[in-house]
Amino acid sequence: MSARILIVDDLAPNIHLLEVKLQAEYYDVVTARSGEEALEIAGKEKLDLILMDAMMPGMNGFEACEKLKQNPDTWHIPVIMVTALEETKDRIAGLEAGADDFITKPIDDFNLMARVRSLLRLKMVTDQLLSHTGHTSENSRPLLEKISQRAGKILLIEDQDLRADKISKPLSKTHKVIVEGEPVKGLKMAASGVDLIIVSLVSQSFDGLRVCASIRFNESTRDIPILIVADPEDDARLVRAYDIGINDSLMRPIEKQEMHARVNTLLRRKFYADSLRENFNENLEMVVSDPLTGLGNRRYFERSIKPFFSDLEDNDLPFSIMVFDIDHFKRVNDILGHDMGDQILKEIAARLATNMRAVDVVSRYGGEEFMIAMPKTNEADALMAADRVRSLIAGTPVFVDGQALRITTSAGVAQVQKGEQLRDVFKRADDALYKAKHGGRNQVVPASYKEAA
């Protein structure tokens, strides 16, 4: 599905002009003739971007934008303000109302599309993060408001001291600003961790576009927002900068209020994305890993072995599963305590993980039970591997709080057969484990698979 863009203007010719331009780029376009109608549409339909005319009768674009940004269901939709005159006060009013960017009439096609693509990329990333973390636009709002007061670490790449001072001194009142005149050193600083990079496109000693490209295509810096400083008449380089992937631009002569507004908007977006990403990584870690041992958990195991089933069905590549269980673990917990039991679990987990192949999938399946999947391995070879690991565990004491404990394990091994699902092969391996337990423990038993009559 194409990105859905709302055009808001009280004049039909203006709407038609923008509609033609955007549809030519295969965007899905919705239109509104007033601020009130825009709010109604935004509340009902899924939008990816809004182009808002600033001056309209009734509710003007600034008022409509402010209401959109106050609504928990629409605040995250990027807004580009369209103004008739390129006046600083209009730009500041739009940014203070919450607009993410602005363009002036008459509208330049390349400039328009560059800004549209830039904001749509950001919207797409935010949507992906929201979907991964389970956040909604509404319950994410308090998070954004909390982090909006954070100070940012800003890197300014500018080789002329006077120009650098005009940017760094006002921003230094609320943020930490590092000025670097040499791009190579600047790129190294950026890789060490900054929240925003401001790059001069008017420098005589280096090519600002090349610096932006290096930032954007370096893995360690590609997610850092870039704000460029340029001359308003340098349209070609400005459009090229947006194609490279910069996030925003500041035209000379620089107006302090506008600079603060643009910097703060970019920093808020960066902090918000970072918080969502951290939340996503934490949730992912909780979903697929066992917090005690660091191994994958049951969900991780089941997800990881799906390709093995496909290889078995499609390419006749065998794989086997083994179920390990710590012998007399309940007695260990009862006598030595659960803290000691946890230490034993972590030590056994480490031994299992370090003594299997890199391609094997090792997980804690629950309690004192561990599951291991061995791709491209038949039952006989898996049985040998399991017995080798069992012997290593039994032959080396586990040291816990200065005590040397002899811990043994039992295991059941089963080769997966075509047509089986995980629950089927798990039952056979678990039945084999039961036989190992009742046969004296500290041993490995293979599962017996009977052909269907």
**What does the pLDDT look like over 132-150, one tens digit per residue?**
555 566 666 666 566 667 8
Mean pLDDT of 180-195: 93
Same domain, 217 and 341: no
Same domain, 4 and 121: yes
Same domain, 16 and 64: yes
Closest by CA position to 134, among listed 354, 14, 347, 282: 282
pLDDT attached to residue 42? 95
Residue where a domain stops, chosen among 260, 283, 306: 283
Closest by CA position to 202, among listed 163, 171, 176: 163
Cα separation, 76 vs 57, in Å, equals 25
Q: Domain range holding 405?
A: 298-446
- Alpha-carbon distance values, 413 to 301, 392, 405 (Å): 16, 17, 26
45-54, 146-155, 172-181: least confidently modelled range: 146-155
Same domain, 178 and 213: yes
Residue 186 lies in a domain: yes
Same domain, 212 and 264: yes
Q: What is the CATH number of the domain that holds 381?
A: 3.30.70.270
Q: Measure CA of the first residue to CA of the last residue in the chain; give whole Å.
A: 51
Q: What is the CATH number of the domain that holds 2?
A: 3.40.50.2300
Token digits for 348? 């056994």
The H-assigned helical ranges of 78-197 are 88-96, 109-133, 141-147, 161-171, 183-191
Give the model's confidence band at 111: pLDDT under 50 very low, under 70 low, under 90 confident, else very high.
confident
* Per-chain mean pLDDT for the chain: 88
Same domain, 117 and 97: yes
81-85, 290-294, 364-368, 409-413: least confidently modelled range: 81-85
Q: Which helix (H) or strand (E) holds 36?
A: helix 35-44
DSSP SS3 for 373? strand
pLDDT attached to residue 137? 60
Residue, of 87 and 386, whose pLDDT is higher: 386
Give the model's confidence band at 112: pLDDT under 50 very low, under 70 low, under 90 confident, else very high.
confident
Amino acid 339 reads D
Residue where a domain stops, chosen among 283, 315, 336: 283
Q: Look at the block and give the residue holding tokens 């929240």.
A: 195
pLDDT attached to residue 286? 63
Report long-range pairs for 373-377 (Cβ below 8 Å, ≥24 apart).
373/301, 373/304, 373/305, 373/308, 373/319, 373/320, 373/321, 374/319, 374/320, 374/321, 374/322, 375/308, 375/311, 375/317, 375/319, 376/311, 376/317, 376/318, 376/319, 377/318, 377/319, 377/320, 377/415
Query: Annotated active-site positions, please?
Result: 368
pLDDT > 70 fraction of the chain, expressed in percent and rounded? 91
Give the model's confidence band at 225: pLDDT under 50 very low, under 70 low, under 90 confident, else very high.
very high
pLDDT attached to residue 131? 65
Residue 307 lies in a domain: yes
80-84, 116-120, 124-128, 352-356: least confidently modelled range: 124-128
**Contacting residues for 402 by C-beta, under 8 A, at least 6 apart:** none
Q: Which helix (H) or strand (E) holds 244?
A: helix 235-244
Q: Please write the tens of the pLDDT for every residue from 120-131.
A: 877 876 776 666
Same domain, 62 and 191: no
Closest by CA position to 268, among listed 326, 298, 225, 312: 225
Token digits for 63? 């008022």
pLDDT attached to residue 395? 92
Give the model's confidence band at 453: pLDDT under 50 very low, under 70 low, under 90 confident, else very high.
very low
DSSP SS3 for 297? coil
Contact 446, 413 (CB under 8 A): yes
In this structure, are strands 319-326 and 369-375 parallel, antiparallel, or unpaired? antiparallel
Contact 107, 82 (CB under 8 A): yes
Residue 292 lies in a domain: no
Cα 205 vs. chain centroid, distance in angstroms? 36
Token digits for 414? 């089963």
Same domain, 356 and 252: no
Residue where a domain stops, chosen among 251, 283, 315: 283
Same domain, 304 and 385: yes
Cα separation, 142 vs 139, in Å, equals 7
DSSP SS3 for 320? strand
Residue 288 lies in a domain: no
Residue 290 lies in a domain: no
Amino acid 33 reads R
Q: How many domains does the chain have?
A: 3
Mean pLDDT of 274-299: 77
Mean pLDDT of 323-334: 91
Angle at 355 between CA 350 and CA 358, to 5 degrees: 100
Mean pLDDT of 349-370: 90
Contact 89, 44 (CB under 8 A): no
Cα Rg, the chain, nearest whole Å: 30
SS (H, E, C) 178-189: EEECCHHHHHHH
Q: Please write the tens of the pLDDT for every residue from 43-57.
A: 999 999 999 999 999
Same domain, 342 and 431: yes
Cα separation, 43 vs 61, in Å, equals 16
Q: Please write the tens of the pLDDT for every residue from 422-450.
A: 999 999 999 999 999 999 999 999 997 45
Residue 376 lies in a domain: yes
